[in-house]
Amino acid sequence: MFVSIEEDRMIESGLDQGSTASLAPAAGPRSGGGRHAGWRTTTRERVFYYLGDVGRMNGGNIVTVLGALFLLFQGVDVQVAAGLTLMVKVVDAVNDILFGFVVDRWRIQEWPVFRRFAGPGRYLPWYRSLFWLFPITVVLLFAMPSGLGDAEKLIWYFVLMVLFDFSYTFIEVPMNSLIMTLTDNPIERNTILRNRAIIFLFLTIVVSMLWQFLISENVGLPLTGVAIVSMIILFLLMLPLAFGVKEHNPGLKNVDESAVRRYTFGEMLRVVRANKYMAIYLVSGAISLMLATGSAVTMFAAFYLFGNSFILNLPNLIALLPALALQLASVRIAKRFGKRGPIVATGLVMAATSFALFFIPTSQTALIVAILCVAGLPATILGTLRSFIAPDAIEYSRYKTGQDCSGIFFALDSFVAKAFGGVGAALALFALGLFQWTPVDAAGFGDLVAQNVPQSDLALTGLWVLLTIVPACGILLSALAMLFYDLKDSDAELMAHCNAGTITREECEAQLSRAY
């Protein structure tokens, strides 16, 4: 179904056919010469926000994309490594939830040690004060001395991964929560989320492929050097956000201010438990990530099954431009079809494709690459559509309770991403041990070619199962879980306007489609 030019303009400006004058956002700074009337942020602020997010997310992806590879190249016992990875995530579970509570409850700018440079705002002071810790831990993780024994390598990995998770949480929770305080305009918020996802998609694909190409046998650079240099560059991208962005929607309206300030940790958890929409969102994501074993073994699967560690990255490159076009249309898709329907549909398509791949012989390289090109398109928009869900669920809790629990929600989201993503990586490592994986001790794939370390037929089958069947099960179950999400988009938008003070609670309740 096509969208007319007139409808496209209404969607971009927030004046869709169902809107009313009472829903106009509160007056604030305009950007783009009036092109975005009612938007709160300036173009400069949005650019700095995108740059900071690129630095933060790709910095985290250094560990996600290269961390498991780095560990596999150390020649350690993969099942012991899997156990340590799970232990790291147990520690991280407590860290994420507690830090979400701290961010929601306290103001770091009131602490004497941070007062001079934390600056104003609700979440930016946390970022300004702590963002520099994150790149330090990444550099130290990949600076593991090559002369260490197996036990010392595992200890180094465990300690630095724990520190990495702590430092990443220190900036991830405030940065994700920041989307709630940058603006009170739902259209502006969704547009920022969409643009952030598009930029992240493009750069993640390009940068991840660059990393993997540089460490592949085609170039042969050491993985450690690639990771450390990349983190230094990404740290520089994070600097402008600390000093050039302002929060325009730092507080709730139409609520009793005393209720916002006095809630306890137990009350926050009760708020989370009472929000079934956030619970569905988190459970859906946890299922998918827990079974996302493919990311940990993709390059080894490509190397041993297809003879080239970079071959499975070609679909991402080929489908890049169509994927970006689909991302650009994500706001219109969500506006026209809602959020839940496209999320479920794309998940079902991805799962069906992944199941089908398992039954295609790995000798059919061209066919597999072609299928992966097509399957990659729904995957690119799924993450963006899911990112629209979290603010809606948060607005629901803010509307129902008068409490701003953004920090705890995004802390839980961070926990799900890291803990269950870690479970996926640990599951892949543990399964490789069961499939009789032969350990390798190499600096990269160029070194692995020179060593010519073979793998058994059982190990090769295991690689293909972990790349296709297991992730397909996760995606399918995740999509089915989202069928239970029934918060209407129009109702969430009304709640957002009430929370921002644009309309009264009485006006909001009169326009809701049903009682919540």
pLDDT value for 95: 72
**CA 394/CA 406 separation, integer angstroms:** 6
Mean pLDDT of 207-228: 90
Residue 449 buriedness (CB in 10 A; 0-12 / 13-18 / 19+): middle
Has this prediction a pTM greater than 0.75?
A: no
Residue with structure tokens 């989320």? 193
Report the interhelical angle of 406-415 vs 150-182 (nearest 10°): 150
**CA 87/CA 99 separation, integer angstroms:** 19
**CA 46/CA 358 separation, integer angstroms:** 42
pLDDT value for 29: 42
* Top-confidence residue, 105 or 353: 353
**CA 133/CA 136 separation, integer angstroms:** 5
pLDDT value for 250: 64
Mean pLDDT of 379-383: 80
Residue with structure tokens 């961010």? 103
Q: What is the pLDDT of residues 413-449, one digit of tens each?
A: 777 877 787 788 889 989 998 999 998 888 778 888 8
**Which range scores top for mean pLDDT: 137-141, 193-197, 198-202, 332-336?**
137-141
* One CATH from 3.40.50.10900, 3.40.50.10860, 3.40.630.30, 1.20.1250.20 for 44-511: 1.20.1250.20
CA atoms within 13 A on the CB side of 50: 21
Please say if the pLDDT value at position 23 is more than 60.
Answer: no
pLDDT value for 4: 32
Mean pLDDT of 355-372: 93
* Top-confidence residue, 156 or 23: 156
**CA 39/CA 186 separation, integer angstroms:** 10
Mean pLDDT of 278-283: 91
Q: What is the pLDDT of residues 385-410, one digit of tens each?
A: 888 888 898 889 888 887 777 767 77
**CA 223/CA 443 separation, integer angstroms:** 7
Please say if the pLDDT value at position 19 is more than 50.
Answer: no
Mean pLDDT of 214-237: 92
Residue 336 buriedness (CB in 10 A; 0-12 / 13-18 / 19+): middle
pLDDT value for 20: 32
Mean of pLDDT over the chain: 82
**CA 114/CA 120 separation, integer angstroms:** 12
**Which range scores top for mean pLDDT: 12-21, 91-100, 106-115, 337-346?**
337-346
Cβ(282)–Cβ(397) below 8 Å: no
Q: Which two tokens stand for residue 109?
A: 């700018």
Q: CA geometry: angle at 166 spanning 428 and 156, to 5°?
A: 60
CA atoms within 13 A on the CB side of 86: 13
pLDDT > 70 fraction of the chain, expressed in percent and rounded: 87
CA 66 to chain centre: 16
String of DSSP letters for 65-120 = HHHHHHHHTBT--HHHHHHHHHHHHHHHHHHHHHHHHHHHH--GGGSTTTHHHH-S
**Which range scores top for mean pLDDT: 101-105, 117-121, 186-190, 348-352?**
348-352
Cβ(166)–Cβ(93) below 8 Å: no
Mean pLDDT of 73-96: 80
At residue 223, φ and ψ (nearest 5 deg) are -60, -40
Question: Residues 218, 317, 353, 461: what is their CA dihedral angle, to the nearest 10 degrees?
Answer: 10
pLDDT value for 5: 29
Q: What is the pLDDT of residues 167-200, one digit of tens each?
A: 888 888 888 888 888 887 878 888 888 888 778 8
Please say if the pLDDT value at position 339 is more than 80.
Answer: yes
Q: Which two tokens stand for residue 71?
A: 């560990």
Q: What is the pLDDT of residues 463-511, one digit of tens each?
A: 999 999 999 999 999 999 999 999 999 999 999 889 888 899 999 999 9
268: confidence class by pLDDT, cuts 50, 70, 90: low
Please say if the pLDDT value at position 291 is more than 60.
Answer: yes
Residue with structure tokens 């037929």? 457
- 198, 353, 383 from 326: Cα distances, Å: 9, 19, 12
Exposure string of 406-415, with b = 16+ CB inside 10 Å and e = fewer, is bbbbbbbbbb
Residue 514 buriedness (CB in 10 A; 0-12 / 13-18 / 19+): exposed
**CA 89/CA 98 separation, integer angstroms:** 14
**CA 211/CA 228 separation, integer angstroms:** 11
Cβ(189)–Cβ(182) below 8 Å: yes
CA atoms within 13 A on the CB side of 409: 30
pLDDT value for 260: 46
DSSP 298: H
Please say if the pLDDT value at position 273 is more than 80.
Answer: no
Residue 361 buriedness (CB in 10 A; 0-12 / 13-18 / 19+): exposed
